[in-house]
Homo-oligomer: A and B are copies of this chain.
Amino acid sequence: MPKTRLDTARIRAARRVIDPVFLDTPLYRCEALEPGLGCTVSIKLETANPIRSFKARGTELVASRLADRASRAVVCASAGNLGQALAWSGRRRELNVTVVASRLATRVKLDRIRALGAGLELVDGDHEMARERAAAIARYDGIRLVEDSLDIETCEGAATIGLELVDSAPSFDTVLIALGGGALATGVGHVLKAMAPGVEVICVQPLGAPALTLSWRQRRVVTTDSADTIADGVAGRYPIPAVLDDLLLVADDAVLVREESIVAGMRLLLDHAGLVVEPSAALGIAAILEDRDRFAGRHVVTIVCGSNVDADAYHHWVRSTPHHHKP
């Protein structure tokens, strides 16, 4: 049993708090993908819900705990998916939700945050600047700050995906998990290591935003000066020490993939699985494409974690011919 910050009994209890619309998501083998990948591939699909990502599993916990408090205000920084999730979970509990995002964030994510009734503050700079600003707002206003991957609710929420995987009587060898702040990887990884320790946990991050992967490899926090990837959902630069500690306990490997592989993964998922995914959700397929020998003959689960894309950017990615994409 890994000694992470997570606790399996608490994760099970979390299932009773999360709106069922986000739970028990489809898990199915997708044979049409397999000739192109050389292994058995199952999809855990986290996009068929009101916010098109897994993030509400965590914000449901945050919001339900806040709903009992005197202060009903909450702020988070978000590349767009956490913000939508917190807006959705907060709206139904009449919380006052503020989301801070980069002015460069994916437009449709910002539009959806506004449409869900949250206050949206845009900052110049990248997601790390949004994190700083959100923390400042929380301090100044004395309200709850939700820090993705640091706050245990975000990890426990993501970890409920792990429970669904192990409860499916797993026949799989490996789970591929998009690595951003680390909530998804440490959450799902904790459950797998606790309940299905034979299953390999592989985290996947873009080469252009490698901070947490480099940190995992060096066993100490490594920051980067910039992040350059289309996978906006995982483009962090400042790993959180406590999250790295957990990741070191649960990840068997952390790999980096090229932008062109992410695009090829999105295209495969569209053409052979009929799935629209955002770049972060194609990281697992990208990892297989970059190292077919490693996965040959194995049964791999990839968590399709979000599908919030700008339509024009998406069509540009998936319909361009592969040689137009440079890493």
Contact = CB atoms under 8 A, between A and B. Distances in A.
A29 interface: yes
A30 B50 contact: yes
A115 B32 contact: yes
Contacts of A28: 21, 48-50
Interface in A180-200: none
A45 interface: yes
A160 interface: no
Interface in A45-81: 45, 47-50, 52
Contacts of A27: 21
Nearest to A20: B168
Interface in A109-139: 112, 115-116
Interface stretch (A202-210, A242-250, A308-316): A308-316
**Interface footprint category on A:** 20 to 34
B32 A274 contact: no
Nearest to A312: B271
Contact of A311 (B24, B31, B48, B271): B271
A299 B91 CA distance: 19
Nearest to A275: B276
A26 interface: yes
A319 B315 contact: yes
A169 to B, nearest CB: 11
A69 to B, nearest CB: 27
A296 interface: no
Contacts of A276: 270, 274-276
Interface string A21-40: 10011111111100000000
The 7 closest A-B pairs by CB, nearest first: A26-B48, A274-B307, A274-B276, A271-B311, A45-B48, A21-B28, A28-B49
23 contacts: A21-B26, A21-B27, A21-B28, A26-B26, A26-B48, A26-B49, A28-B48, A28-B50, A31-B50, A32-B112, A32-B115, A43-B48, A45-B48, A47-B274, A48-B48, A52-B274, A270-B276, A271-B311, A274-B308, A274-B309, A275-B276, A276-B276, A319-B319
